[in-house]
Amino acid sequence: MRLALSLAAALVAGLAGVSGWDRTPPVPVRPGPVAEARDDSLDAARQALVDSLLAPYAGFEAPAGVPDAQAERWAEATLEGMTLEERVAQLFVVELGAVRDPDGLARLGVGGFHVNRRTPPQEVRAVVARLGARAPVPLFITADYEWGVGTRRSNFTELPAAMAYGAADSEALAEVGGAVTALEARAQGVNVLFAPVADVNNNARNPIINTRSFGEDPQRVGELAAAYVRGAQAHGVWATLKHFPGHGNTDTDTHVAFASVPGDWRQLWATELAPYRVALAAEPGFVMSTHLWARALDRTATPATFSRAALTDVLRDSLGYDGLITTDAMNMGAVRDRYDARDRAVLPLLAGADIVLNETSPRRAIRYVVEAVERGELPRERVDASARRILRAKARLGLHTAPAPDRSRLRRMLTEVRGARFADALTQAAVTVVRPGPLPIRRGERVALVQLANFNADRPMTQLERDLAPDARARVSTSGGGRASAVAAARGADVAVVAMHLRVKQGAPPRLTPAQRRAVEDMEATGTPVVLVVLGNPYAAALVPDAAGVVVAYDETTRTATAVADVLAGRARATGRLPVTVPGLREESGMRNQE
């Protein structure tokens, strides 16, 4: 809300460039009687900001849903005419690209398909139209669009990770993020977003959630997640809170191995479950379970996906959730390596899940569930309840009456990056000066830019070089190549900017190689003030604890590189806040005056 006021004021003033806004530090407006008195003006400013940032999507609104009563009638009539096998098939969403015969599965009546987030939009539209024409019941088409729909290969909008919303500290921007992602997703036929992440990232060693989380404050995570859900679901899709009951407090990646979340019930309630108590009020269409064992809920090592205590006792009964519960992907190591195909199909449904996601042999899995019902192991009522929820959710989106995604309409939508202004605003608002040191860089100061990465970061590196225009530049490879040039550049500079592009990689926290670490130490030894810039994982700031200045961005896109360069050079003021605690990192405030 605080940022909404400043951004809306800038828009009203007619300022064209985000990077040129001269924004004063945000002033807290919550809680207290003054804040309560200003609620109306805050809401008006927030809505003005949302409307302005969504204006480029005028004419591309998603198809309207239908009233609940009408959806209920269609769901009941459809369910009545379905066989047991057809009802069971609705409980499976299948990964495209991982099955041999998607057309046959569509005809069989599976509940939907999951598309890879990097699949080009026109290809998504074509396959959705083809499979939809074969399916007897409308399909859920799901995607992990946490970073928006865009990639560098399309004109859809590429967005930073969720932690950027946490750093910007703006529910208005989170709402627009959900809306932009929904509008672009639905234009190509995707109707379920597996976003936002509602995990509280309170473990600095978490190798898989990290910047995918809004932050470590449970209340704020819930508020931002709720705003994202509202924005998305107002524009033709279902959003998903994940990963229930929480995937933040672990140092293990469940794509790779099974692990647990520690703590007793009081800790679970106060931290992991707190965002859900807030965000469920936004009525998300989906909640996704995690494959982690919540030790507070089960005495034996049971992934939450298979836990009746987690999915039924807590999520359904205690928290009162009546939407769809989907499992996380069943091809992940945490469950694939511990459970056979039959258990992966049946146990989640016994626990209370409605949808089994990405089982690699769906026909066999459907047969296992049918057999479990026929033997009395799985109550028929359990299957019917889930099938009914699925059909009702599809009808509420209007999938049973909506036309297939239109090719020409999608082509028109892709003529420009319609979310560019929003992405610029979010990225700029997220940049965080943790310790200013010699910033901003003054006119005439000699600047050395040294960049390090743990992946091919050529695009953001090149963008940062172009936008910062340093006097000297070097790149240090993982093997130490470029080290001598980096030290020489720092020795001849007034300010040495060390930019670390460290992507969170599956199964391991980001780190500098020994050769890269030696290069940074040698640069510090020159006596030139070092400004550390982290593009990605904020916890990486602790890798160079003695840097004179520390700046954190939360992604490694070219847009993020531009926003960082603007802050370093004093062309923009950084208003972001660090949404997580970085162990061992000292924070300061106040940048020196720009001459």
Specify which residues 192 forms β-bridges with. Answer: 142, 238
CB within 8 A of 118, min separation 6: which ones? Answer: 151
Q: What is the 3-state secondary structure (H, E, C) of 331-384?
A: CCHHHHCCCCHHHHHHHHHHHCCCEEECCCCHHHHHHHHHHHHHCCCCCHHHHH
Single-letter amino acid code for the residue at 578: L
* Contact criterion met (CB below 8 Å) for 508 and 530: no
* Contact criterion met (CB below 8 Å) for 441 and 569: yes
| Strands 432-435, 549-553: pairing kind | antiparallel
The sign of the dihedral angle between the CA atoms of 42, 43, 44, 45 is positive
Q: First-to-last CA distance in the chain?
A: 32
* Contact criterion met (CB below 8 Å) for 516 and 468: no
DSSP state letter for 495 = E
Single-letter amino acid code for the residue at 61: E
DSSP state letter for 137 = S
Single-letter amino acid code for the residue at 179: A
Point out the residues that are catalytic: 255, 328
Residue 427 token pair: 């990225």
Residue 483 token pair: 């080290």
**Residue with the two structure tokens 């070219």:** 558
Alpha-carbon distance of 399 to 137, in angstroms, equals: 9
* Contact criterion met (CB below 8 Å) for 532 and 500: yes
Candidates 580, 555, 592, 585; CA nearest to 199 is 580
Residue 376 token pair: 């009395």
SS3 576: coil
**Residue with the two structure tokens 């930073």:** 160
Single-letter amino acid code for the residue at 93: V
